[in-house]
Amino acid sequence: MDRKIILAIAIAIVAILGIFLVYASEDSSVNVNNVTLNVSSEGPVNLSVLTDEIRTHEYYKGYDNETLQWMESLGNKQVWLSNGEIVIMDDVSDSNKIPSAYVCDASFYEIFSCNVLENRSLGNVEHPKDVLLVNNVEYIGEYVYYWQV
């Protein structure tokens, strides 16, 4: 009888640890400090403009509705885009630190360090994008790629 009780307790402990690990892996709050990112200098855009585009444009077909609702809940933020990421930040304290440029014969990429507060996926299989909420932006510099014309 004692073995059955010990076995039942061991199974219960393993089950509780398993449930904890499942929920812990779904936590989107990452809080990673001093990450270096690069974004296109053709920005920023208002977060509300981007969320409207996600809802209506074919490019974002298959988006994760939970991530979109989270993005909409962030309020008045600015968005910078890169090839694989949507980077969301506060307008006044962070976004204004990154220069913006529009040119036709070159691509400008702005490089900065920041803290990642949350990392979510837009969930689109064809055009996957990570959605990062960041703060404490520190501008590092710029990379320019000139197109042959």
| pLDDT tens readout for residues 44-80 | 999 999 999 999 988 888 889 999 999 999 999 999 9
Q: Are strands 78-81 and 106-121 parallel, antiparallel or unpaired?
A: unpaired
* Domain count across the chain: 1
Please check whether residue 3 lies inside any domain of the structure: no
Entry pTM: 0.74
Please check whether residue 104 lies inside any domain of the structure: yes
Sign of CA dihedral 57, 70, 96, 105: negative
- Determine the structural domain holding residue 114 and report its residue range: 28-146
Please check whether residue 5 lies inside any domain of the structure: no
Residues of the chain with pLDDT under 50: 7, 10, 12, 14-28
Please check whether residue 9 lies inside any domain of the structure: no
Distances (CA, A) of 39 to 15, 42, 44, 80: 43, 8, 10, 6
Farthest-apart Cα atoms in the chain, separation: 83
Please check whether residue 67 lies inside any domain of the structure: yes
Please check whether residue 6 lies inside any domain of the structure: no
Please check whether residue 22 lies inside any domain of the structure: no
